[in-house]
Amino acid sequence: MFPKQTIRIFISKFQDAIVTKNFSVGLATMFKIQNYINGKLQNALSGSEINSIEPATAHTFATIPKSNESDVAAAVLAAKNAFPAWSKLSGEQRMMYLMKMADGIEKRFDEFAEAESKDSGKPLSLAKSVDIPRAISNFRFFASAAQQFSSESHAMPDAINFTLRQPIGVAGCISPWNLPIYLFSWKIAPALATGNCVVAKPSEITPFTAFLLSQVCIEIGLPAGVLNIIHGLGNEVGQAIVEHSEIKAISFTGGTITGKRIASIAAPMFKKLSLELGGKNPTIVFDDCDFENTVSNVVRASFSNQGEICLCGSRIFVEESLYEKFKTAFVAEVQKLKVGDPLEADTKLGAIVSQQHFEKILSYIELSKTEGGKILCGGNALKPEGRCANGYFIEPTVIENLPHTCRTQQEEIFGPVTVLTPFKNESEVLEMANSVPYGLACSVWTNNISKANRIAEKIEAGVVWINCWLHRDLRTPFGGIKQSGIGREGGMEAMRFFTEAKNVCIKY
Ligand code: NDP
């Protein structure tokens, strides 16, 4: 007889063989993505499926389960059953599992990167340099946090208080399509590290790497029910997770409208809520900046991942005295960016994630023209030759001459579109930068550190970068204010979110 673990690994290797064999970019093979519930891969209980489309080619390449509240209920039951044993493990034991998850992704690095690029349209080079390394780091970072997590004590003359930090039970994690495994793992890892069991839903638009992660969990022998991954539509599976009375905390990243809806359901149920929502981030360029470095980094901050990063700067304010020089250099750099097949090594912008999102972005470009905007470069859909001829591509677009109060400057477009606006002084730029309903991130470009600090203090944002962008230390608090969300992720903030603090007072 084989021990159970060996059988499990054998089965998973067999499943890998099926997926790996089929997983060759360009082949017209269909993949079947499955839910991961109670340690097993399975179809939706209803048997229904949804097609998954590769945005670079507009071809259907996979099916995912169209799950509903019955699948969520099965996952919650599995998570509840797994919770007593998982929560009793030592931090070191949980650390070992999370380390193995990181190793498991790393072992299949290329497969994860190809899947991420195929699913989302992002350049393969970006998936290899950012998304997959970050997912691995997320698991390693929270693995060590599991071992090092400690709590406070408060001494009184006649007593000692100590804080017990206990896991919540079953946590719900819901993530978006723009950085699929990067953000999925950013939630799951701290939830598991603190001893919770998890019911998680990736975006139905980008399910592939979450499915590969479930295979990794089977391979490494993660106990059944500790992590459950359910695929399907947001308003069915996502909503069922939010509504389930046994799920005590919801960690959500996505759009502000969805966040409001989730809050309206979860708040009356007194669930813990972490909401990471949209942004309309300002980039502030002063005339004393390090010019070359600023231009190249502001291009990156505007167009990385086709502008589909919540932290991208989509409103660039440039000091009047530098405006014309900056505009000329910036537009020249943007025009050099190659848009096209995500698989080609020199591609800088891949496909927009879906037809619906592609149409939304194009409609904003049209809107900007009616608002008086002048398109300095881009502004059009693009049809690359060859296998990507039917894909959803948009040229990187730079616009000027728009009032800061117009819709193009106020609403989140979440695509390769940015607007240049001149400013006279600090107070004017702060007024324009803070005029939006969002408050996620900001970048400031100047060699005057006092000026940079004044802006950092007064800007309405949860994250401020000075002379850099997306320079991340995983220990720092991450999140937004205003309509960009509530709560903070990252480091100890995440460890605290996924635990309840209980004060114990012992009188001498
Ligand atoms: P959505 O809000 O549409 O979706 C996010 C997730 O929520 C998806 O898994 C979605 O499922 C699910 N969902 C949709 N409806 C519901 C519902 N009623 N109840 C529960 N879950 C639901 O966002 P997008 O996927 O379009 O992502 C883009 C948005 O995410 C942008 O606004 C961007 O700014 C924001 N974002 C914020 C970040 C931050 O850290 N602040 C980081 C990254 C993105 P499905 O896709 O299957 O419908």
pLDDT digits (tens, 9 = 90+) for 141-174: 999 999 999 999 999 999 999 999 999 999 999 9
Specify the pairing of strand 374-377 against strand 281-285: unpaired
Please name the residue whose Cα sits nearest to atom 21 of ligand 1. 238
Instruction: Reply yes or no on whether 276 is catalytic.
Output: yes
Segment 109-138 shows an average pLDDT of 98
Residue 123 tokens read as 């350049």
- For the domain made up of 281-481, the CATH class stated in words is alpha beta
Task: Note whether 31-277+489-504 and 281-481 share their fold.
Answer: no
Q: Answer yes or no: is pLDDT of 106 > 70.
A: yes
- The CA-based diameter of the chain, rounded to the nearest angstrom, is 78
Please name the residue whose Cα sits nearest to atom 48 of ligand 1. 234
Q: What is the per-residue pLDDT across 290-316, written as a single tens digit (0 to 9) for each? A: 999 999 999 999 999 999 999 999 999
Q: What is the per-residue pLDDT across 224-263, written as a single tens digit (0 to 9) for each? A: 999 999 999 999 999 999 999 999 999 999 999 999 999 9
Q: Looking at 14-23, 331-340, 468-477, which range is the least confident one?
A: 14-23
pLDDT at position 6, please? 34
The overall average pLDDT reported for the chain is 94
- How does residue 38 score in pLDDT terms, banded at 50, 70 and 90? very high
Residue 6 tokens read as 């060996």
Q: Answer yes or no: is pLDDT of 13 > 80.
A: no
Distance, CA 171 to ligand 1 centroid (Å)?
17
What are the domain boundaries of the chain?
Answer: 31-277+489-504, 281-481
Residues in the chain: 508
Q: Which atom of ligand 1 is nearest to the CA of 262?
A: 19
Express as a percent the part of the chain with pLDDT over 90.
94
Q: Dihedral through CA 133, CA 23, CA 41, CA 226, nearest 10?
A: -10
Sheet holding 153-156, edge to edge: 153-156, 159-167, 499-507
Q: Answer yes or no: is pLDDT of 5 > 60.
A: no
Q: Answer yes or no: is pLDDT of 505 > 50.
A: yes
pLDDT at position 324, please? 98
Instruction: Reply yes or no on whether 310 is catalytic.
Output: yes
First and final C-alpha spacing in the chain: 57
pLDDT at position 90, please? 98
pLDDT at position 241, please? 98
Q: What is the per-residue pLDDT across 352-393, written as a single tens digit (0 to 9) for each? A: 999 999 999 999 999 999 999 999 999 999 999 999 999 999
Q: Which of 276, 308, 319, 460 is an active site residue?
A: 276
Q: Is the CB of 98 under 6 A from ligand 1?
A: no
Please name the residue whose Cα sits nearest to atom 22 of ligand 1. 234
Q: Is the CB of 176 under 6 A from ligand 1?
A: yes
Domain 31-277+489-504 has CATH 3.40.50.2300: no
pLDDT at position 11, please? 34
pLDDT at position 27, please? 41
Please name the residue whose Cα sits nearest to atom 33 of ligand 1. 278
Helix, strand, coil share (%) of the chain residues, nearest 5: 45, 25, 30
Q: Answer yes or no: is pLDDT of 25 > 70.
A: no
Q: Answer yes or no: is pLDDT of 10 > 60.
A: no
Express as a percent the part of the chain with pLDDT over 70.
94
Alpha-helical (H) ranges within 236-380 are: 239-243, 256-266, 291-303, 323-335, 355-370
Segment 481-489 shows an average pLDDT of 97
pLDDT at position 29, please? 73
pLDDT at position 477, please? 98
Segment 72-95 shows an average pLDDT of 98
